[in-house]
Amino acid sequence: MTDTSIQPAPQPAAGDLDGVKLVYILYFVSFVLAITAIGGLIYAYLKRGTASAVAASHYTWQIRTFWIGLLYSVLGALSLFFVIGLFILLATAIWFLVRSIKGFIAAGEGRPIQNVDTWFW
């Protein structure tokens, strides 16, 4: 006889995603005060090693979001002289916002980020 029961996915401990949500909020605030994104990045680096698997996936996602966003922002700033930079910066802001919203919703539902290595969303 085969066992057809489905094992539930492991859920993060209560409060384990509070730090994850804090980083997302700092990322949202960074649209007004850019320095808060650096604070979120530092927090994500400090907590990633001791977090549950679900929270660690979010911290990795947040760290990659910061560094990839910084790369795109630098490219946009360097190409502002050619006008295309304005479009790159606008696309980067939208990309950063979409990734942050997607992650915040997943954290609110207690779900991990499925593909943390993607450069998209």
DSSP string over 35-53: HHHHHHHHHHHHHHTTS-H
pLDDT class of 31 with cuts at 50, 70, 90: very high
Say if residues 103 and 62 touch (Cβ distance below 8 Å).
Answer: yes
Burial of 23 (0-12, 13-18, 19+ CB in 10 A): buried
Res 96 pLDDT > 80: yes
State the alpha helices, DSSP H only, in 1-121.
Answer: 18-29, 35-48, 53-78, 84-108
CA 113/CA 53 separation, integer angstroms: 10
pTM > 0.75: yes
pLDDT, one tens digit per residue, over 57-89 is 999 999 999 999 999 999 999 999 888 999 999
Say if residues 75 and 90 touch (Cβ distance below 8 Å).
Answer: no
